[in-house]
Copies of this chain bind each other. A is one copy, B any other.
Amino acid sequence: MTAKKPTIKDVARLAGVSFKTVSRVVNNEAWVSDEIKAKVQAVIETLNYQPNRTARLMRTAPFSLAFVYDNPNSHYVIEMQNGILSECRRKGFELVIHPTDSGSDLVRQELSTMIGSNQVGGVILTPPLSENSELVQQLLAQQAKVVRIVSGAAPPDELCPTIYVDDEAAGRAMTEYLLAQGHSRIAFLGYRADHRSSVGRYRGYCTALDKAGIPLCPELVISGDFTFDSGVAMTEQLLALPEPATALFGCNDEIAAGALFAARMKQLAVPADLSIVGFENSPFSRQTWPKLTTVHQPNADMAAKAAAMLIALMLEPEEQPPHCGFHLQLVVRDSVEKLTK
């Protein structure tokens, strides 16, 4: 009744060969006669034999990797996961998902266990965990292969292969675009000192203003989370100012969506009365009204690249793949007004 799963020995018995020969056929090793190969393959078919992955794993290096992320609901994560998944499938690797609360101390322990127990051979780290070089070192010390995705014009150090993305340049490009459209009172929403992407985008914003000879107005820089609700609140705060801005740079699309909502509540037309831009090019940024001008971040590609690098590292531990930088690109849509003064 409870038909046990066929093993390599069952195949061997039926094919009248040693189980080692079956192993050779399964792994496509050289020097097996075509005749025997065909016979074994036939038995494999009829038994529907599938090599036991667990047993195989006892003799080989693990071929699973972990994706560790913080904010489980953002599109950022979803797009990354899809990118990693597609790469994993191409290479026959397995993905273990590991959402985590980066604030928690458990993370270290959990990751350590995943590595130590041979559950995964490598880890892809995203911010803010990827910025914790102490953690990276600990993982490395446990023989884990690590690839991290960080914000920056270059990798922060040489610990491990790194994917980096230049938020500062993009923040600057976006601000310069707004300046070119005639805006000079530009608000920056979503500054967070503990968030490298945010800081990078903010730096770019400052540089652009500086190059244009426009003084920074501290009251136009508002701190807050990367969420819709925070975007609403920050915008309300901004609009309560005696002299509000003509353009609003949301540090991500969710903030921008919140800004859109808050503007609407205040009966302001976007972009006529207030220009709003976001960052990230999340799917919904082209489903708002008006469609958001934003910065495209190739999350899926970045993550796929990270997976490819990690897999290469797991297969060829000798040669470290080189770091890899990604460019962000302005996506102009309908949420910015050209001011003619």
**Interface of A with B (CB < 8 Å)?**
2-3, 5, 48-55, 57-58, 62, 72-73, 78, 81-82, 85, 94-97, 99, 112-113, 116-119, 143, 228, 254, 257-258, 260-261, 264, 283-284, 287-289
Known: A119-B53, A287-B258. A95 touches B96 (CB 8 A): yes
In the complex, which residues of chain B have a beta carbon less than 8 angstroms from the beta carbon of A264?
289
B73 lies within 8 A of A82 (CB): yes
Q: Out of B50, B85, B143, which one reaches A117, CB within 8 Å?
A: B50
In the complex, which residues of chain B have a beta carbon less than 8 angstroms from the beta carbon of A143?
2-3, 5
19 A-B contacts, Cβ less than 8 Å apart? A5-B143, A48-B112, A50-B112, A50-B113, A53-B118, A53-B119, A54-B62, A54-B118, A58-B58, A72-B78, A72-B85, A73-B78, A73-B283, A85-B97, A258-B287, A260-B289, A264-B289, A284-B287, A289-B289
User: Whole-angstrom distance from the CB of A168 to the nearest CB of chain B?
Assistant: 28
User: Whole-angstrom distance from the CB of A116 to the nearest CB of chain B?
Assistant: 3
User: Whole-angstrom distance from the CB of A104 to the nearest CB of chain B?
Assistant: 12
Question: Who on chain B is nearest to A6 by CB?
Answer: B116
B52 lies within 8 A of A117 (CB): yes
B57 lies within 8 A of A54 (CB): yes
Given the complex of chains A and B, what is the CA–CA distance between A52 and B117 in angstroms?
4
Besides the contacts A53-B119, A254-B287, what 12 more A-B pairs have beta carbons closer than 8 Å? A5-B118, A48-B112, A48-B116, A51-B117, A52-B118, A54-B58, A58-B58, A81-B97, A82-B99, A85-B99, A95-B97, A258-B287
In the complex, which residues of chain B have a beta carbon less than 8 angstroms from the beta carbon of A260?
289
Question: Who on chain B is nearest to A5 by CB?
Answer: B116
Given the complex of chains A and B, what is the CA–CA distance between A228 and B78 in angstroms?
18
Given the complex of chains A and B, what is the CA–CA distance between A50 and B113 in angstroms?
7
Given the complex of chains A and B, what is the CA–CA distance between A260 and B287 in angstroms?
9
In the complex, which residues of chain B have a beta carbon less than 8 angstroms from the beta carbon of A258?
287
Given the complex of chains A and B, what is the CA–CA distance between A96 and B94 in angstroms?
7
Question: Who on chain B is nearest to A64 by CB?
Answer: B96
B78 lies within 8 A of A82 (CB): no
In the complex, which residues of chain B have a beta carbon less than 8 angstroms from the beta carbon of A82?
72-73, 99
Question: Who on chain B is nearest to A94 by CB?
Answer: B96
